[in-house]
Structure 1
Amino acid sequence: MPPRRNPVLITGCSTGIGRASADLLVKAGYTVYATARRPETLAELAVAGAQTLALDVTDERSMVAAVREVERAHGSVGTLINNAGYGEYGPIEETDLDAVRKMFETNVFGLARMTQLVLPGMRAVGSGLIVNIGSMGGRITFPIGGYYHATKYAVEGITDALRNEVRSFGIDVALIEPGAIRTQFEETVNTAAGVANPDSPYADLVAKVRSVNADAYSSKVLSAGPENVAKTVLKVLESDPPRARYLVTAAARTMVNARRLGGDLVWDAIIARQFSR
């Protein structure tokens, strides 16, 4: 295990990918700081050997306090895993923009601010790793998810720029792009997509999206458990240097390649067929 990857600070560990990643990294021998807005949700990770901290990526004081605590104990953060995020779904025309702004605060600005906070310490020691948990939804787009996709496209851009800005300081940057992962995320998506006015002109499309999502997340072919992403996180930490991008799930690779190779006409035809009412 490369010592320079320690300690590992992970955001959004109460459930899903963050929890699975923290658990696997602890088992692999890493010093892990697992964080969540509600630290009481981290009790099992604490028993497993993780250090636990309260951290809300939409609160400046919370972010500063968490990074300072890790730096006080270790000098610098060895690895930052920006995992916290969620999906606010709905038609572009009808979705509440205040809810969209709130999602951007978590998915984009929280990730950006956490990155800003750890970089001075990483530069001072001449090493570090930043792993951003993006999504295949940062490279392909489905209807009713436009604003969520916008946050993940933003993460793609930030990650690409950052990778080339900090390379000369000995800092690596990698992006993990999961496909459909069976966590509480799909429940949030289906709940958000299901609040459309039944008289909305988009009501039929929203219903179709809910149906397609339910089928995808219940399929062991089209989706995977969070442990699959956790294994990729471990692979990134143990790679020197890591790759720029890691797509997770065969379905995600298939769809991203279809979008890339087929262009707009092919992708739009796939979407029209999949979501036809």
Structure 2
Amino acid sequence: MQETVLITGCSSGIGRATAIAFLEEGWTVYATARNPADIETLGERGCELATLDVTDDEDVDRVVNRILDEEGRIDCLVNNAGYAQFGPIEDVTVEDARRQYEVNVHGVHRLCRAVLPHMRREGDGTIINVSSVSGRLSYPIGGIYAGSKFALEAMSDALRNEVRAHGIDVVVIQPGPVETQFGRRADDEIARLDRTEAYEPFYAIWEDTGLLGGESPGAVSPARIAEDVVNAASATKPRARYPVGPVAQGTLLARFLPDTVRDRLTELVVRLVG
């Protein structure tokens, strides 16, 4: 029987590439996005399309129930929808921070709660949460975004052990820089902030380096990430985490450095850029 996957955030980048990769492997793919016009071409490729705002409980229930009515199964959930709110902690408003968590954390929670009853009844299923190297290592100007990804990683670790006995796998994908429009939206979010002069060195680092943007050295293609997502979904015993790309693999090692060493390296970067 053909397997079915539900993917959030398919309007571009990782989500779009992942939908295509699952199609090529013969899965029934439900590609979702807040704006249906953004995923019309995926429908032309063979995806089933659905409008889905991960912050809306009714939207989530409607889409999950539709898939179960039409296919009778959801074998894999890929929680990809998300964005980055960068900026110094003081400059990011409480409202912006709340919105970041509403999408990156609570949205994932909603989808997991919606599909888990079905997966438990079937005694099978895979939940794949697209995180980031920022989910294991935080840095100046990235605290709000990294915090949301830290929360996602913690939630995934707990869930993995809660549902293992029911035949359900939980996987975290950890990209570094990706060749997508991710950095452009992050630029838009940071441009809305009222900048405090005291943090200008950190804003300069963002503007000069691009951090996680598609032009960063070592950025990987969305298709490369999609490859790991499909491999994890297809594996009998997938790994708990898949760091994708050399930057991700190298950066994750930095978390083993003592805090004092990481802090000194950060000070050095600020002096060099400033």
Q: TM-score, normalised by structure 2?
A: 0.94
Runs of at least 5 residues in structure 2 that lack an aligned partner in the other structure: none
- The residue that corresponds to 1:145 in the other structure is 142
Q: How far did 1:27 drift? A: 1.1
- The residue that corresponds to 2:269 in the other structure is 274
Alignment of 1:153-232 (within 5 A): 153-197=150-194, 200-213=197-210, 217-219=214-216, 221-232=217-228
Q: How far did 1:76 drift? A: 2.7
SS in 2 for 1:223: coil
- 8 Å contact kept, 1:12–1:83: yes
Encode CA deviations 1:172-200: one digit per residue, 9 max, x unaligned.
11000110112111012223334444562
- 8 Å contact kept, 2:182–2:214: no
CA gap 1:112/1:201 in 2 versus in 1, 3 angstroms: same
Alignment of 1:1-277 (within 5 A): 6-197=3-194, 200-213=197-210, 217-219=214-216, 221-260=217-256, 262-276=257-271, 277=274
Runs of at least 5 residues in structure 1 that lack an aligned partner in the other structure: none
Encode CA deviations 1:110-154: one digit per residue, 9 max, x unaligned.
100100000000111111110000110000112111000000000
- Over aligned residues, Cα RMSD in angstroms? 1.6
CA gap 1:126/1:198 in 2 versus in 1, 3 angstroms: closer
| Distance (whole Å) between structure 1 residues aligned to residue 120 and residue 106 of structure 2 | 21
| Distance (whole Å) between structure 2 residues aligned to residue 215 and residue 119 of structure 1 | 32
Encode CA deviations 1:252-273: one digit per residue, 9 max, x unaligned.
111111222x221222223222
- 8 Å contact kept, 2:87–2:142: yes
- 8 Å contact kept, 1:88–1:192: yes
| Distance (whole Å) between structure 2 residues aligned to residue 141 and residue 272 of structure 1 | 14
CA gap 1:201/1:173 in 2 versus in 1, 3 angstroms: same
Q: How far did 1:43 drift? A: 1.1
Q: How far did 1:216 drift? A: 6.1
CA gap 1:68/1:100 in 2 versus in 1, 3 angstroms: same
| Distance (whole Å) between structure 2 residues aligned to residue 83 and residue 216 of structure 1 | 17
Encode CA deviations 1:26-77: one digit per residue, 9 max, x unaligned.
0111111000011111111111111110110011111100000011122231
SS in 1 for 2:31: strand
Q: TM-score, normalised by structure 1?
A: 0.93
- 8 Å contact kept, 2:184–2:213: no
- 8 Å contact kept, 2:183–2:212: no
Amino acid at match of 1:163: R
| Distance (whole Å) between structure 1 residues aligned to residue 15 and residue 197 of structure 2 | 36
Query: Is 161-170 or 222-231 further displaced after alignment?
Result: 222-231
